[in-house]
Every structure is written in structure tokens, then in C-alpha cells.
Amino acid sequence: MASTALRPCGDFRTTYKTDQYLFQTKMIGWTAAAALLVLILAPVLASSYVVNLLILVGISGISALGLNVLVGMTGQISLGHAAFYGFGAFSSAYLANNYGVPVLIAIPVAGVMTAIVGMIFGLPAARIKGLYLAIATLASQFILVDFFARATWFTNGYGVDASKPEFFGIPLDTDEKYFYVVLAWAVISMIAVANLKRSRDGRALVAVRDHYLSAEIMGINLTKYRILAFGISSFFAGVAGALYAHYIEFVSVETFSISLSINFLAMIIIGGLGSVPGAFLGAMFIELLPQLVQLISGFLITIAPTVFGLIENGKAYIEQITVGTVIILFLIFEPEGIAHRVGQTRKSIKLYPFSY
Amino acid sequence: MNWFLLTQLLANGLIVGMLYGVVAMCFVLIYKSTQVVNFAQGEFLVLGAWVCLAMVVKAGLPFYIAFPFTLVFMTIFGILIQTVILRPLIGEPIISIIMVTIALSIIMQSILNWTFGNSSASFPQIFPVENVSLFGLQVETAYIMSLVLSVFVMALFYAFFQYSKYGLAMRATAYDQQAAQSLGVSVGQVFAMSWAISAVVSGIAGIIIGIVSGVSSSLAVIGIKVFPAVIVGGLDSIVGAIVGGVIIGLLENLAEFVDGQYLQWGNLYTIAPFYVLIIILVIKPYGLFGTRDIERI
């Protein structure tokens, strides 16, 4: 194994087929398999607190992955991702509550519904791009959230209850059981997006990002792919939203504010734009950061109550400030995100003691 | 049809619209000269208003001293933000620039809420008379001051860009950065200056709104309202920003009128500008006055 895993400088891929392997080296493949194994065993081994965190990371990761298709791969900035996430949550709850659709089926159906809504709101992308598009998605965020607050038939105007799913008669009512639903969706989405990246459509999306005029000249239908990117991204947002709804068991209109959209953007920037594992790494970072802040500020208060007592009532603010600072620091010092850093570290360990 | 209410609302819309115009102008100024979209514009308003209020209430300074001090503070603040946070990101893709200003707005929002609290506070009375009668309409003095100050700021902007050396340098940089640089314009200085001016003018707008309707973190909403205004006018046109601001101000109040009198949907005025934004973007992607991008390969 060592001889194939060690790949010093130079790119030894000689055929298109090797260039398109899902796992570029055996090492990456084994790491992925090991990670999956650990995650499958996680509910047995870890405490329910860790499982709860893992579920949240998984859900946010799926949503961030969708956003990464739109922002990282296609280069279209969306400030309205949380609204689509919310739409998925409400539609899944609506289907399950009003039509008795089994939850496990309602989740992907909600994803498809969200994809359609996403494509409708992506229509301006046919004509505009960059900054103007970012502002258009900002508008769609406000319009959709306003719709949630108005459409009482859909959301009660404030929020709806959502039930836990059943799997062939087995209720998936505990965190440990629900974890597998999230894990399955996370794995499916990761494989789907990784496969998209190495397919014709995925390359077309990247071409649209890199230079849309050249892409158009090469015969790529810009309008189709721009709107398709919105569709794909909204699908994952919808699925993640639905998973969230059935996990929390109550969907509130207020959850899906612009700050959630910003959190999703922060995840992909910190994780790495356009990277599949990056979306999950970023989600982990953003979901764990508040826990870390809680831990540190709690620790500071216990060791020096007089000095840090002030922090006690400002914990929520400190959390926000940390998130903002981390985003700025990443943008200035590590614009390619954690995924890039992980790759660099991997290479330098492998090639130690030589630099390449 | 309630004509009196309609005129009252339209007058209101004009005054608010002028303020939107002023804030939109700051926004466009930054975008035009540094290609940065400032999502923290609303927080600049809040910062200016709180700092001035703190000087008046906590330090007990009279308003006419606190006001210029606030402006000095905002100048330094604007230059600092530009040099520390935005300078390293020159030439980065749009997504980084957008995110950095969003992050800035998150940080500012939490720091401001933490130090000044979530509740709203109002300035002590500044004008001796509360209301003035104007063409049969009762208008608050603060509104008149807001209108006068808005027009004054706009005139100042015009004079600055038209007649001063620095204004010329800024216009040159906005038109062609490299050419300006080769002719001896310090682009770094222009960038810092545009942030400083933008921060100062936002501070003024924040103080005005603070006087009219009280200071609270909700002032930051104006930073979001600015987007429809600049899109309607075109992202890189200062005239467009003013026109767009007035249009959005009027539109909001018209929406409130239609909503209140006929539709009874509630809160239509907060969302109407965003529908207009989408429609404008689809019909006229570069706004009313914006320059069309021409791209060559």
C-alpha cells in the first residue's frame, strides 16, 4: 500500500479514468471508510450529547453542501439559503401532517418541492450574476420568510409540529436512532455531489463559474446550468430542512432568518469553497464553535469570577463576535478553507522530511 | 379615498426616501471606488447614533459639540476598518468581500448591542418647537431638519466630487484604477477616504434617524433597505442612489397606504421593496442609471 499511497511531486495520472476516481488515492478511500465505520458505531460509543451534536453537524453539513454546489462550484452567491432550508422543513411537516405521508418519504419529496421553489427564485440568475444576484437572493430570503409568516394554511403563521419518522413500524424516536437517518442522507448527498463534480454537468457548472463567456462559447447553456445549480442546491437545503424539522419536532418561522443563511455561507467559506468534505468540516466548525465559546467562558468565569463576571450576561454576544472574527480571519489568512489546509497537512506528513 | 392620509404618507415617504438616498449614496460611494459591497452600512448608522447619544446623555455634552466629535470618531473608524480588514482582501473574489462585510456587521451588531443594550433610547429634545405647520400639514421639526440635512449632504457630495482635488482623484479611481494610479493618485488613500466619508455620512444619517424615531439596533434595518434603493438606481450611480432612495421611500409609504386602506394584509410595506427589487433586476438588471458591464474575452 505504501508504494501507491506515497505520491511525491508530479501528477502521475495518465488516463481520464484515473483523473475521475471518486477517491484519488487509496489512502483517502480508506480514511473515508474508517470515518464511516466510526460514525456508524458512534451512537453506541458516544454520549447522547455527542450524538446530538453529530446530528446537527450532519444536517447543517447537508445544507452547506447544497450551498457549496451553488456558490463553490457555480460561483453564484446565495444569501437566501436559510429560506429554502425553511421551505423544506415546512413542506415536509405539511406533507406528513396533512396528507399522512410517511416521514421518510416526505423528506425527499420536500427536497424536490424545495428544488422547484429554488429554481423559480433562481430565475433572475438567467440574466444577472455576481453581486446583483447576491442581492436578488437576499430579496428572496425576505420574500420567503414573509411568506412563511403569512401563509397560515402552510405554517400556522408561527410554526408547526413535526413528527419523528418510522422505519417499517420501528419508531425512530431517540437521537441514537434518528442519527442513522441523518447519516444515511449525509452519505448519499456526499456521494451524489462528489459524483456530480466528476460528471459532465458538474464540469459545466465549474466552467460557468470560471469563465461564463468561454463556457457559453463552448456550448454550455448558461441559463440552464445556472438555474439547475439553484435547483440542486435547494434540493439539499430542502432535505436538510426536513431532517431538521423532524429532529426538532417543531418548526418555527423565526428559525430561518438571514443570520442562518450567513451561517451556511460561513460554513462553506471556513470548510473550503467547492469541496465536498469541506462543507461538513465547516458545518462542524460552526456548530461546535458556540460550544467551545461556552466552555471557555464558563471556565474563565470559574477561575476568576471578578474579572470575567462581565462575560456571563454577554455570552450570546461573544458567540456572535467569535463567529464574525473567525470568518474574517479565515478570509484573510486561509481563504481556501479547512479542506485545503487538511490536504496540505496530509501531503507534508506523507512527504516528511522533504518538502515535495 | 383618504386624501389627507395619502399626502401625509407621501410627504413622509419623501423625507424617509431622502434619508435612504443619503445612506444609499454612502453605499454606492464605497462600491464605486473600492468595488466593495458594504453589508455593514446599517451598523455604521447605529454606531454613529449610539456614539452621539452616549456623548449627549452620558457625558453631558451639548448636541452641537457631540455632533462634530461623532463625525471625527466615524472618520477614524472608517479609515481603520478599511486599512485593517479590507485592504488585505483587495483583488479577492466577490464572495470573500461580501462575507467579510457581513462578518463585520455581525461583530459590530453584537458589540453595539452588548455595550448599549437592546432597548431603544431617544435624544433629549433638541429643537424648541415640536411641530411646524407647513401648507396646512403638521410637520415635526425633526423631519424638516432631516430633509434639510439630507439635501445639504447631497449638495456637499456634489460639490466635493465636482470641485475638489480629492473628489477628482476619487472619480478618476472609480473610472480607471490603473490609469489613476499611473497619474499619481494614491489609490490606497482614495480607498481609505471613501470609507471615511461613507462612515461619516452614515453617522449623520444615523443621528438624524435617531433624533426622529429614537436610537436602537433596529436602525440597522436601513442597511438592508438600501439594497432595493441602490438596485433601482444602479449600483454605481450616485444620482441613481438618491433617486432610488426616494422611490423606495415613496413606495413603502404607498404600500402602507394601499395595505391599510384596502388590502389589510399587514406589514406589506416592509416586503414591497424586495418584490420591486426582483422585478427591476429581471427587467433592467443594471438599474435606472447604472452602467452596463461590457466584458471582453
Average pLDDT over residues B211-224: 84
Which pLDDT score, from 0 to 100, does residue B283 have?
A: 83
Assign domain A42-351 to its CATH architecture: Orthogonal Bundle (1.10)
Overall residue count recorded for chain A in this entry: 356
Alpha-carbon separation of residue B213 from A37, B136, B140, B280 (angstroms): 59, 23, 11, 30
Give residue ranges of B with CB < 8 Å to any A CB: 37, 85, 88-89, 92, 94-96, 98-100, 102-107, 109-111, 113-114, 224, 227-228, 231, 235, 265, 267, 270-271, 274-275, 277-278, 281-282, 285-286, 295, 297
Contact A127 B295 (CB under 8 A): no
- What spatial distance separates the first Cα and last Cα of chain A, rounded to whole Å? 20
Closest C-alpha to B27, from B277, B269, B228: B228
Alpha-carbon separation of residue B186 from B29, B38, B165, B193 (angstroms): 17, 22, 12, 11
Name the least confident of A128-137, A171-180, B131-140, B161-170.
Answer: B131-140
- Three-state DSSP class for residue A100: coil
Per-residue cell: B189 = 488613500
CB pairs under 8 A between A and B: 119
Question: Does B128 score more than 70 pLDDT?
Answer: no
Overall residue count recorded for chain B in this entry: 297
Which pLDDT score, from 0 to 100, does residue A84 have?
A: 95
Name the least confident of A298-307, B130-139, B234-243.
Answer: B130-139
The whole-number mean pLDDT for each consecutive block of 10 residues of chain A, a chain of 356 residues, reads 48 73 78 88 85 93 94 90 94 90 90 94 83 88 89 83 79 83 93 90 91 89 92 95 91 89 92 89 91 84 72 78 90 87 82 73
Would you list the DSSP string of A221-254? -HHHHHHHHHHHHHHHHHHHHHHHHHHHSEEEGG
Question: Does B296 score more than 70 pLDDT?
Answer: no
pTM recorded for the entire structure: 0.89
Cis before B273? omega within 30: no
The mean of the pLDDT values for chain B is 85
Contact A146 B271 (CB under 8 A): yes
CA A72-A77-A83 angle, to 5 degrees, is: 110
Secondary structure of chain A: what % helix, strand, coil (to 5)? 80, 5, 20
The helix (run of H) or strand (run of E) holding residue A290 is: helix A276-303
Of the residues B89, B98, B118, B283, the best mutation for testing chain A's interface (the one with the most A CB atoms within 10 Å of its CB) is B98
Secondary structure of chain B: what % helix, strand, coil (to 5)? 75, 5, 20
pLDDT-derived band at B297 (thresholds 50, 70, 90) equals low
- pLDDT higher at B272 or B124: B272
Contact B88 A332 (CB under 8 A): yes
CB neighbour list of residue A34: distance below 8 Å, 6 or more residues apart: none
Spell out which residues of chain B touch residue A131, defining contact as CB-CB under 8 Å.
Answer: 37, 94, 98, 235
| Number of Cβ within a 10 Å radius of residue B297 | 6
Whether the CB-CB separation of B27 and B199 falls below 8 Å is answered with no
Average pLDDT over residues B14-38: 88
- Count helices and strands in chain B by DSSP H and E runs: 11, 2
Whether the CB-CB separation of A58 and A183 falls below 8 Å is answered with yes
Which pLDDT score, from 0 to 100, does residue A3 have?
A: 42
Which pLDDT score, from 0 to 100, does residue B6 have?
A: 83
Which pLDDT score, from 0 to 100, does residue A2 have?
A: 40
